[in-house]
Structure 1
């Protein structure tokens, strides 16, 4: 069985104030670095075979910090870069709602093309690392697209708000993906008081 542990990157300054990041390359803030450290300390090295990361700074740095605990082969994959939200990137929730109340952001990556890109990446992982245990550090929309596709829309995009540095797990067995769990935050001190 192939398994993928999906980890959302740690917090950035834009996350903290509600700015839409998309493909804008924003680094982790101090809280995000702490979250990545907590992920690394929580995960057990012998449970995984390879670490995959989006090349955007916030995901790559999260993966590097986690890997300082795990010492796994680290591979960057463009397939898991965050969705581009076009002209809305860098805007707060209020700014987006005022300018684009229907969420039709000019120059954004179309949802179906984005989903196809991400799921093609998942297919590559299943083929390249068949029967292995994969860690994948990516982004909120990326992970939600994966969860939504696998759950046939029951969870994921527009239904699930993924916390920074949360953990979700999916399995590939008998030619089919299934969601084991998602949005797990027990390992993070930042969120333990708001469970």
Structure 2
């Protein structure tokens, strides 16, 4: 069975300020770097076969820091880059609510195309790495969209606030992806998981 541990990247300054990032390529801050170190230490207690990462630097750097401990093959996949939120990128929640109360952000990536991109990515993982244990470092929007799709909307986008550096586990069983758990932060120091 293919097992995937979805890891949200560590914190950035924009996360700390409540700004939506999307495709804007923001680096990790000091807290995010420390969260990635804690992820690596925790994940070293289990066997993993490879790390896949979004190409955006906040995810890639999180993956690289984790991999200092694990020393696994590192694969970049564009399919797991964050959704492009168009004109809303760089705005806080309050600014978005005032400017776009209908949450229809001009120039954002189409939801159905975003969902197709993520489904393609999961298929690639399952086809290329059957029965492997895969770490996938990505973004809150990506992971929430995957959780929403796999749970038929029970959790995920609009319902679940994923914390930076949280872990969520899914596995491929009898031709379906199944959620094992989500938004796990017990591996982080309390001060790092309260953000």
User: TM-score with structure 2 length normalisation?
Assistant: 0.97
Which residue in 1 is equivalent to 2:30? 30
The CA distance in 2 between the partners of 1:193 and 1:138, in whole Å, is 17
Assess if the C-alpha contact under 8 Å between 2:11 and 2:165 holds in 1.
yes
Instruction: Name whichever of 36-45 and 16-25 sits farther off.
Output: 36-45
Question: How many angstroms does 1:47 deviate by?
Answer: 1.5
Which residue in 1 is equivalent to 2:126? 126
Assess if the C-alpha contact under 8 Å between 2:164 and 2:193 holds in 1.
no
The CA distance in 2 between the partners of 1:10 and 1:59, in whole Å, is 7
Assess if the C-alpha contact under 8 Å between 1:25 and 1:58 holds in 2.
yes
Question: How many angstroms does 1:152 deviate by?
Answer: 1.0
Which residue in 2 is equivalent to 1:143? 143
The CA distance in 2 between the partners of 1:84 and 1:103, in whole Å, is 14
Question: How many angstroms does 1:110 deviate by?
Answer: 1.2
Number of positions where the alignment pairs a residue of Structure 1 with one of Structure 2: 195
Which residue in 2 is equivalent to 1:62? 62
| Aligned-partner SS, 2:7 | strand
Question: How many angstroms does 1:190 deviate by?
Answer: 4.0
Flag the 1:13–1:85 CA change in 2: closer, same or farther, 3 A. Answer: same
Assess if the C-alpha contact under 8 Å between 2:163 and 2:193 holds in 1.
no
Q: Which runs of 5+ in 1 are unaligned?
A: none
Flag the 1:73–1:57 CA change in 2: closer, same or farther, 3 A. Answer: same
| Aligned-partner SS, 1:47 | coil
RMSD, aligned α-carbons: 1.5
Residue deviations 1:24-51 (CA, integer Å, cap 9, x gap): 0000000000000000000126511010
Residue deviations 1:71-124 (CA, integer Å, cap 9, x gap): 000000000000000001001111111100010000000111111101110110
The CA distance in 2 between the partners of 1:46 and 1:94, in whole Å, is 41
Flag the 1:192–1:11 CA change in 2: closer, same or farther, 3 A. Answer: closer
Flag the 1:72–1:181 CA change in 2: closer, same or farther, 3 A. Answer: same
| Aligned-partner SS, 1:149 | helix
